[in-house]
Structure 1
Amino acid sequence: MTQQLSKHRHISFTAHYTGYIWYQMGISHPALATAKGKTLAALVHPIESWAEKYVGGSMRTTLKQRHSMLDTHLKALIDQHPHLQVLEIACGLSPRGWWFRQHYPDITYRELDLPDMAATKQAALQQIEENVDEVLSVDLFTDAFASAFEAFDSKRPLVIISEGLINYFDKPLLQQLIQSIATYGHNFKVLHYLTDIYPEPTQNKLATIIWNSSRLLKWMSRSAFSFHFKTPAEVEQFFHEAGFKQVQVLQPKQFFEQVKLENNDQHLGDLVWMIQASNT
């Protein structure tokens, strides 16, 4: 049977780049670092170094921030629910599933991506894990996405997690994705969605350069990559409208530097934020 695919499946080469950066950071396995990723990392290294010096951050620094925040929150949820179920969508070459299965053997951790990447990830995991579950192969924008939720026990809490994903879609499509997660996870005892998001860089003096860089990424990835939100309050409202009851937006300055927000409309200038949404 032919896998159902939507027209929105062209996310990009970025999975190879991020996979290699995670390996460079020392948090991944060589099996998850590809030659393509190594080439891309070397190619953009001068640009990344320039951005870190003059913009105050780069793709690789935001990778580290978002990965750390997401992992910390996932660990906290496992502390609350030792037999937690996790589905990482658009998993790419992320080491998260491998790492968490090694360190938390009582949880159920499944991964999902489009057919080609799912096959690549499966082959890599089989080199480093015994009895690893099949990487699910589903397009998030087709009805087949619902079947991924059937792989889990609705009587146990479920966490959906994504990283480096949701800015690649226009706003209507993003709302469709979040609504799908809320709808398909409606019958679970507890449902959480953890994700990162890149806000509009309104507080950065080089915002125009960042915007232009995003247009280049949009073209290269054949996607609708864009910034959709200027404040945490806008993000929270959007997720509420998509079906989540509780929504928290965390900015790196809050997480790493303990900066306090004066109000929910305050953008602290970070290039990436983290979102934790739940159905309770």
Structure 2
Amino acid sequence: MSEQQLSKHRHISFTAHYTGYIWYQMGISHPLLATSKGKTLAMIAHPIESWGEKYVGGSMRTTLKERHTMLDERLKQLIAQSPDLQVLEIAAGLSPRGWWFRQHYPTIDYRELDLPDMAKTKQTALKQIDAHSPDVLSVDLFTADFQKAFEVFDTHRPLVVISEGLINYFNKDLLQQLIQSIAHYGKDFKALHYLTDLYPEPVKNKLAKVIWNSSKLLKVMSRSAFSFHFVRPEEARNFIQQAGFSTVKVIQPRLYFQQNTTDLNPEEHLGDLVWMIDAQL
């Protein structure tokens, strides 16, 4: 993890600790990927989360489970199609995904990437779990160094770039830049997918106003441009296609997890707090 130029868009902080601990609580992570800071944050949030699950029908932690499940299941499908798949998880934080997939799919090449401090923290934990874990890559997504992350992979094999809990932290210009970079640096691979979650505007949620106000607080606390950019699936699809991806699917949890969905319009915002994006080049 060498010294490099760092952009000003690098202050995503406590959320990685919180989500890391929630995944551990769900039984899908390793104890070494759960921090004391994450435990404290989870304890503070627990009463609010429980209230939301009881009276509103969902909470941040249920949303985390939905997005993580959808991304994991889609990645498993892509591995089944291409056993020689390569994966680059950007802003990997304390996610257990790389550790879990390397254990269960040893034929794939799975690398993780984050900013220097988090990359060092993650690598220390992974090396204690498995001394043969690959080094965590450390580059800033908004500098030319991002291209170096793609250079560690074989262009003759398909590549999946995956992110979780990331893209709402950027304004639309930066988000466009990020997706354009992924499409550009990945264009020479045998195939390229970008899998990510995305938080749409909570226009159909009972607590829309509360969520909006909470997002403003998160914006300040994380020193980021956290925002909701899209209301309808078509808006997100068009935006990502304009950034360079030819095929873009927007998957909403209500359609994904429910069996009787014939009366639901996939082109309408169905009220979920999070969507999954599957973009292909």
TM-score normalised by L of structure 1:
0.97
Aligned residue for 1:15?
A: 16
- Whether the 8 Å contact between 1:233 and 1:264 is mirrored in structure 2 is no
Q: In structure 1, the residue corresponding to 2:83 is in which secondary structure?
A: coil
Contact 1:91–1:113 under 8 Å retained in 2: yes
| Maintained 8 Å contact 2:159/2:193 | yes
Distance in 2 (alpha carbons) for counterparts of 1:244 and 1:83: 22
Equivalent in the alignment of 2:141: 140
What letter is aligned with 2:56? Answer: V
Contact 1:89 1:162 in 2 (8 A): yes
Counterpart for residue 271 of structure 2:
269
The alignment partner of 1:195 has SS state of strand
* Unpaired stretches in structure 2, ≥5 consecutive residues: none
Distance 2:140 2:271 in 1: 33
Q: Which AA in structure 1 matches 2:48?
A: I
What is the rounded CA distance, in whole Å, between the counterparts of 1:211 and 1:252 in structure 2?
20
Farther-moved stretch of structure 1 (51-60 vs 111-120)? 51-60
Residue 126 (1) aligns with residue 127 (2):
yes
C-alpha offsets along residues 164-214 of structure 1, whole Å, 9 cap, x if unaligned? 000000111111100000011011110000000000011112211110111
Name the residue aligned to 1:37.
38
RMSD between aligned alpha carbons? 1.1
Q: Are the equivalent residues in 2 in contact too, given 1:231–1:264 (CA < 8 A)?
A: no
Matches of 1:48 and 1:173 in 2, distance apart? 31
> What are structure 1's unaligned runs of at least 5 residues?
none
Deviations 1:220-270 (A, max 9, x none): 111111100001111100010000000001001111103247545311110
Identity %: 73
How does the TM-score come out when normalised to structure 2?
A: 0.97
In structure 1, the partner of 2:165 is: 164
Deviation of 1:51 after TM superposition, in Å, equals 2.2
Q: Which amino acid aligns with 2:49?
A: E
Whole-Å Cα distance in 1 between the matches of residues 206 and 29 of structure 2?
34
Distance, in Å, in 2 between the alignment partners of 1:261 and 1:93 is 38
How many pairs does the alignment contain? 279
> Per-residue deviation at 1:42?
0.5
CA distance in 2, matches of 1:121, 1:187: 29
Tell me what 1:25 maps to: 26
- Indicate yes or no: 2:200 matched with 1:199: yes
Alpha-carbon distance in 2 for matches of 1:3, 1:201: 38
Mapped partners of 2:53, 2:231: distance in 1: 22
Task: Give the C-alpha shift of residue 59 in structure 1.
Answer: 1.1
Distance 2:79 2:267 in 1: 30
CA-to-partner distance for each residue in 1:105-156, whole Å, 9 max, x for gaps? 0000000000000000000001111311110001001110011000000010
Q: Are 1:111 and 2:147 matched, yes or no?
A: no
How far is the alpha carbon of 1:12 from its aligned partner?
1.5
Quickly say closer, same or farther: Cα 1:155–1:40, change in 2 above 3 A: same
Secondary structure at the counterpart of residue 88 of structure 2: strand
- 8 Å CA contact retained: 2:255, 2:266: no
Measured in 1, the distance between the counterparts of 2:264 and 2:160 equals: 30
- The alignment partner of 2:101 has SS state of helix
